Amino acid sequence: MRFKYTISLVFIVALVIIEKENNIISRVSDKLAQRQTPQTPLPSNFSGLAQLNGSYSSLSELDSAFKHLKRRLENYTKQLDNAQGGKKHILLMATTRTGSSFVGEFFNQQGGNMFYLFEPLWHVEKMLTLETGGTNASASAKAYRDVLQQLFFCDFTLLESFLEPLPNDHITTTLFRRESSNSLCEKPVCSPFVKKVFERFHCKTRRCGPLNLTLASESCHQKDHRAIKTVRVRQLETLRPLVENPSLDVKLIQLVRDPRAVLASRMVAFSAKYKNWKKWAVDGEVPVDDEEVKKLKGNCDNIKASAELGLKQPDWLQRRYMLVRYEDIARYPMQKAAEMYGFTGIPFTPQVKKWILKNTQASKEASGVYSTQKNSSEQVEKWRFSIPFKLAKVVQRVCGSTMKLFGYRFVNNEAMLTDKSISLIEEKNFNYKK
């Protein structure tokens, strides 16, 4: 009688575990689901459940069932520990050329307690663009959110489904900018590999072999905190289910920058994509109804809508949202880094302070387009000498309300634009609650 009672109890526990797991792990579209590869050898639902309500031919089978259930329970317990064990989940959201790689290093350099990922959504955007032409914004937003959620749980399964080619036994050589994550460039995730074919996958001064995502997942579980940097989340509202997940402790940091500076930087970094702007800079007036101008306005409107929502601090964002201007970080890097760490509730380590001191006073030779080594005070004003007044005027016209929200002053003529004695940054305090 006691044996039958135990079997029934196991069956009930199994159903509870699976139901909770299903509530945690988000679904993706049928097409993407077909591409998924399992993160672990454990099946998605235990095949022996039907037997649990009946009888076993031997105690060894029952023992095997208990072992499988124990593993499932351990996995679920790890997810609960995220919320109950003081683990923090930080999402740095920005747009391209706002200094997000530089600011992301504030968390990447934290030390052994941080698992940092650089732009994992690059793969998601690439595939969705190929498959849908990038026209389905709601599907993209959901895919971004689902991938972020699993990564915060240290689960790379869903991300694997977006990698090309698909990983073989959870091993890949194609993860975007792997070398930008210290967590993926240290033991045991990074093992020395001397074959020349993998030289381009170097991390720091070491060479890493192909990335084993199972090892990456295990390393992630061992870290106290997780941080992800992305420039692909368009609207803050789409992250609400992620923030409200009781198994996570998500803190959102939105990084913004003067849109005139962003345009000037993109014209240099993405020359081919911004050829129309480069042409307009040399000759002719800018057609305000051009698709490129409309795209600029749409980007500004998205940033403004997210910031307005975050600054209102609705219930679901209470103590979970922080707005930071790149210009303030560039001028006061140590102070702003300390404020961000205070907001997240994570110790501001000596390693981060040392990195900031070293990388905010870089020489001109060390500062490339994609470099995270910057002479930060010079970066604030540099754009004013690389963009003509007529382009700045267009930005002010279509992004004016966004600039006012963030405290960026307008310029009236070319002389004012290039006069460094006139500050274009209002001193502004964006209040947030710790």
pLDDT digits (tens, 9 = 90+) for 282-319: 988 899 899 999 999 999 999 999 999 999 999 999 99
The confidence band for 21, taking pLDDT boundaries of 50, 70 and 90, is very low
**Contact partners, residue 201, CB within 8 Å, separation at least 6:** 173, 178, 179, 207, 208, 209, 210, 211
Are 211 and 72 within one domain? Answer: no
Of the residues 38, 58, 81, the one at which a domain ends = 81
CB 424 within 8 A of CB 389: no
What Cα–Cα distance (Å) separates residue 14 from each residue in 5, 58, 90, 204? 14, 20, 32, 45
**Contact partners, residue 288, CB within 8 Å, separation at least 6:** 394, 397, 398
Of the residues 52, 81, 110, the one at which a domain ends = 81
Portion of the chain with pLDDT greater than 70, in percent: 72
Other Cβ atoms closer than 10 A to 328: 19
Are 115 and 158 within one domain? Answer: yes
- Joined tokens for residue 163: 């990698």
Are 172 and 285 within one domain? Answer: yes
Is 417 a residue whose pLDDT tops 80?
yes
Instruction: Provide mean pLDDT across the span 109-114.
Output: 92
Task: Identify whether 428 is part of a domain.
Answer: no
The confidence band for 62, taking pLDDT boundaries of 50, 70 and 90, is low
Least confident of 184-193, 253-262, 400-409: 184-193
Backbone angles phi, psi at 114, to 5 degrees: -120, 130
Are 251 and 173 within one domain? Answer: yes
Task: Identify whether 243 is part of a domain.
Answer: yes
Are 283 and 355 within one domain? Answer: yes
pLDDT of residue 76: 53
Task: Identify whether 432 is part of a domain.
Answer: no
Cα–Cα dist 433/318, whole Å: 7
Radius of gyration, alpha carbons of the chain: 24
Are 70 and 212 within one domain? Answer: no
Instruction: Provide mean pLDDT across the span 398-405.
Output: 98
Is 253 a residue whose pLDDT tops 60?
yes
Is 266 a residue whose pLDDT tops 80?
yes
Instruction: Provide mean pLDDT across the span 112-121.
Output: 96
Angle (nearest 5°) at CA 82 between 77 and 87? 150
Portion of the chain with pLDDT greater than 90, in percent: 65
pLDDT of residue 263: 97
Angle between helices 259-269 and 275-282 (to 10 degrees): 110
pTM: 0.78
Is 274 a residue whose pLDDT tops 80?
yes
Are 77 and 101 within one domain? Answer: no
Are 354 and 243 within one domain? Answer: yes
Range of the structural domain that residue 52 is part of: 2-81
Handedness of CA 117, 121, 126, 130 (dihedral sign): positive
| Beta strands 250-256; 171-172: pairing state | unpaired
Domain total in the chain = 2
Are 175 and 264 within one domain? Answer: yes
Instruction: Provide mean pLDDT across the span 326-343.
Output: 96
Environment class of 68 (CB within 10 Å of its CB; exposed 0-12, middle 13-18, buried 19+)? middle
Task: Identify whether 196 is part of a domain.
Answer: yes
What Cα–Cα distance (Å) separates residue 54 from each residue in 14, 51, 119, 385? 14, 5, 48, 78
- Joined tokens for residue 407: 């405290």
Is 367 a residue whose pLDDT tops 50?
no
